[in-house]
Each structure stands twice: as structure tokens, then as C-alpha cells.
Amino acid sequence: MLTMSTDSDLRETDTEARFDFKKKQQAAFRTDKGLTEETVRMISEDKDEPEWMLQRRLRALKQWQAMPMPGWGPDLSEVDINEIIPYIRPDIETRGGVDDWTDLPDDIKDTFDKLGIPEAEKNALSGVGAQYESEIVYQNMQERWREKGVLFCDMDKAVQEHEDIVKEYFMTNCVPPSDNKFAALHGAIWSGGSFVYIPEDVTVDMPVQAYFRMNSEGMGQFEHTLIVAEKGSEVHYIEGCSAPTYSSFNLHSGAVEVFVGEDAHVQYSTVQNWSKNTYNLNTKRAIAEKGATMEWVSGSMGSKVTMLYPSTVLKGRGATDTHITIAFAGEGQNIDTGAKVYHNAPETKSTIESKSISKDGGRTNYRGLVHIANGAKNSSTSVECDALMFDNESTSDTMPFMEINESTVDVAHEATVGKIGDEDVFYLQSRGLDDDDAKQMIVAGFIEPITEELPIEYAVELNRLIELEMEGSLG
């Protein structure tokens, strides 16, 4: 969950209410549970898609049916697609959403009002999109960016209005359905998400944000994000996610594809605060051309299980990739995150900084891959993994994997695991802090690298979310 807040002293009950509230389910159209060819055809027909998109969906469905469930990582035995509603179109008159907040139905508008989306748009964003269940319900962008040729719309509209671009990039060579079982699932039943196109040499100097909300019990959300940044352009995209808590499981299996042109710069920031009945199984990947810069800033909280490993293919000479990730796992949570980088060209550079926090028996794991191809001379990589545990019941593992096929490279790896030290807490208590405040201050310092990369209002919100997780106030 990522929202704007200018008041860092929100009362706990008020803040908690913003995350874990429910609305009565109202839908204009929904499929039955499960995944069949008929379901895929119904989704495509409801969206009035061109034939080529339907055929891509059907090919992805066959790949999904042929692939086994992952046999590594967290336990996914509870994930049964036959118990998931894959598509719910909310009851809103304008397909593809509205561009005036007041035109939203009252129940949907109230949901996003509670989450702070209108305030964020007014104060700190170039554009904002809001997805409710399976479709974008609101999308807007400042006029000055439209005039520069920037495109920011929902993916369903992009398929209709920017077909040539979408057809070229959508799940072809970045995240093909063959990548993994859940990428194939996504390719078959994707819905909603954001399309961002930045023309050559255009710098969008304020972030654009998309917010994804699951409201219904037992549903799946499968939004697709496609970002194309042309040569010399720059953009910062922020993604936030949340869902209320239910007794049965929900599934989130989105996909993100980022194409970073020559000398372009893209920062993709996401803070996910799914409810603790949600399986969060995403695929995110970028392709960076010559001299390009890709930055991933990721915060993973909430969810019962998260498997998320943003990856970048450094395709062009001198391309750069940075990952800053934080994971928080409490009781009953397994947060398995990491990063993947493929150095496929000379003089490429990557930096991975991973932070994890576990308490009350929660489990965090860093799972990463750095591949330096033969011929990627004078490339460099640095991987740093730090884990902080609150108690003896919690678990934190580090599983870095490096494939180095070139000799003239610079490779560094460092990992630390530790508990909050009694002497550190005692020192802060001697300065007037109580036990909880002392621990929260230590954690705030621990996660500072990620908060430094976010606008100040978002950093305040992230710190507040961590405090609530530490207090056991969510889920």
C-alpha cells in the first residue's frame, strides 16, 4: 500500500482503518471460478479485444496448463486456480475508467478517498491511475505532459488506441508467458494495469502513480504494466497495492515490462501491503539499452506469501541497474524476494541492496541471481544483503547465486544477519525512549536506504506501515 500522508502522527486506529476496510461487492460482470478456454474467451469478448490479443491469451493458457507448479521456494499448495474468480468488472458506466474523480460511483470513490489517492494526485503526482478489482476505474494526467506526447492510460485502452506499440512489446521478449507458470497464467487472464509511453528526450519530473485495490473475497488480480521510455527520456513510476483481510485466499499475479531506451532513466517504486490471506506472485522485468539506467525500489509487506524477483537485462554497453528492496515478515508470513541482473554487454554495472526484517516467527528470504555473460568486459556488480530479526522464532535466509563467465569484471558480495541488540535498545532508553520507540528507531535507520529513494510523503507513509507491522496492528 502506498499513499500520500502529510501527517506522520496519524492515530493507529485511523491508519489501520485505511487499509483493512471492505465494501459490499458490486460488479457489472464477473466470471465463474476457475480457468478454462471459455473463461479466457469471455474476458476477451467483454473487453472487445482484437483477435491477436485473444490468440495470445489462448497460447498462454496452453502454456499454463502444460507447466508444473514451482517446486522451489515457499509452499504454494493452497493456490488453487479453481477457487479463484479471475475477472470482476466493477459497476461503472464508462469502460476504461473516468478522468473526473467526482464521476466515480460513491462506493469506489469512498474506497480511494480512504486510501489518500485524490490527495496524492493533487500534491505530488504528474498522473494517477486507480484499479478496482479487475479494471482501471480512474485515470488522469496533467495536461502539460499530454502536450509533450506522454501517454498514460490503462492497458485495456492502450490495446484499442495504441495497438501498434502494445502489439510490439506486450509479453514478447521481456516477460513471455513461457517464463514461468504464473507469467503464463497472467498472459491468459490479465486485466487492467497501466501503459506508460515517454517520447524521446522528455523528462517527466513528477512521479506517476498507479494504485491497485482488491475488494472482493476469493478473487485474483492480474494487472499488466507496460512502460516504454524512448531514448534520453526519464520517468518515475510508483505502484501501490492493498486488499482487506478475508478468511479464504486471494491471488495477485501481475506482470511488469519496462523498456529503457538508450540513455533513458526509469525508476519503478512499489510498496505492497496486501492482506495476510493474499498470495503475491509477480513477474517484473526490464530491458536496458546502451547507457540506460533502471532503478527498482521495492517494499514488500503484508501477504501470506510473496515471491517477487524484479530483474533487468543489461543489453547495451554502459547500462546500469540498481535494486533497493525491503521485506517485512510477521507471524505466518513467508516473504521470498530478491533481484536478478543479466550483464549481457560490456561496461555494465549493477548494485543490489536488500534489507529484510522478521518477527513473531515470520520468514524472509533473499533469492538473487547475477549473470555476467562472456564478453561483458569491465562490468561490475555489488550485492549487499542485511537481515534483522526480532526473536529466535523468526527466520532469515540469503541465497545469492552468481554466474560469472567473464574474467575482467569486478564482483562483490556481502551479507549480514543479526538481532536487535539489547545494548542498542538500552542506549536509546537511556536517552528517554521506551522499548517500542527504541526498536522502531533502530528499524527506521535500518530501512533508510529505501526511504531516501522515495518522495518525503511516501517515505513517511512507509515508516508508518513498518511501525504498524511491528505493533501487530494489521492483518
CB 88, CB 192: distance < 8 Å: no
**CA angle centred on 338, ends 336 and 341, rounded to 5°:** 150
Please, what sign has the CA dihedral across residues 168, 169, 174, 176? negative
More confident residue, 212 or 25: 212
Residue bearing cell 519496462: 258
Mean pLDDT of 116-123: 45
Residue bearing cell 526498536: 439
Angular region, 284: left φ>0, alpha ψ -120 to 50, beta rest: beta
CB 239, CB 458: distance < 8 Å: no
Q: Which of 313, 380, 374, 379 is nearest to 346 (CA)?
A: 379
Tell the burial category of 266 from Cβ atoms under 10 Å away from its Cβ (0-12, 13-18, 19+): buried
Mean pLDDT of 389-404: 89
Strand order in the sheet with 293-302: 135-141, 127-132, 208-213, 234-242, 265-274, 293-302, 320-329, 349-358, 380-389, 410-419
Please, what sign has the CA dihedral across residues 9, 13, 19, 21? negative
| 353-363 per-position pLDDT tens digit | 998 888 889 99
Number of other CB atoms surrounding residue 389 within 10 Å: 20
Query: Where does the pLDDT of residue 328 fall: very low under 50, low under 70, confident under 90, or very high at 90 and above?
Result: confident
| 159-217 per-position pLDDT tens digit | 999 999 999 999 999 999 999 999 999 999 998 888 999 999 999 887 787 766 666 55
| 257-275 per-position pLDDT tens digit | 999 999 999 999 887 777 7
The rounded mean pLDDT for the chain is 80
Residue 128: the pLDDT is: 47
Residues 6+ apart with CB under 8 A from 233: 198, 199, 200, 201, 202, 203, 204, 261, 264, 265
Phi, psi of 53 (to 5 degrees): -70, -40
Task: Check whether 36 has a pLDDT greater than 50.
Answer: yes
Number of other CB atoms surrounding residue 402 within 10 Å: 14
Q: Which of 93, 123, 119, 122 is nearest to 108 (CA)?
A: 93
Mean pLDDT of 399-417: 91
Task: Check whether 100 has a pLDDT greater than 60.
Answer: no
| 136-145 per-position pLDDT tens digit | 444 455 567 7
Query: Where does the pLDDT of residue 104 fall: very low under 50, low under 70, confident under 90, or very high at 90 and above?
Result: low
More confident residue, 194 or 453: 194
Task: Check whether 51 has a pLDDT greater than 80.
Answer: yes
Distances (CA, A) of 204 to 124, 141, 166, 199: 12, 11, 21, 10
Residue bearing cell 505492497: 272
Q: Where are the domains of the chain?
A: 24-420
Task: Check whether 146 has a pLDDT greater than 70.
Answer: yes
Mean pLDDT of 443-471: 63
Task: Check whether 391 has a pLDDT greater than 70.
Answer: yes
For every residue of the chain, which 3-state class applies, written as one string? CCCCCCCCCCCHHHHHHHHCCCCCCCEEEECCCCCCHHHHHHHHHHCCCCHHHHHHHHHHHHHHHHCCCCCCCCCCCCCCHHHCECCEEECCCCCCCECCHHHCCHHHHHHHHHHCHHHHHHHHCCEEEEEECCEEEEEEECHHHHHCCCEEEEHHHHHHHCHHHHHHHCCCCCCCHHHCHHHHHHHHHCCCCEEEEECCCCECCCCEEEEEECCCCCEEECCEEEEEECCCCEEEEEEEEECCCCCCCEEECCEEEEEECCCCEEEEEEEEEECCCEEEECEEEEEECCCCEEEEEEEEEECCEEEECCEEEECCCCCEEEEEEEEEECCCCEEEECCEEEECCCCCEEEEEEEEEECCCCEEEEEEEEEECCCCCCCEEEEEEEEEECCCCCEEEEEEEEEECCCCCEEEEEEEEEECCHHHHHHHHCCCCCHHHHHHHHHHHHCHHHHCCCCHHHHHHHHHHHHHHHHCCCC
More confident residue, 161 or 420: 161
Task: Check whether 338 has a pLDDT greater than 60.
Answer: yes
> CA 38 to CA 156: how far, in whole Å?
20
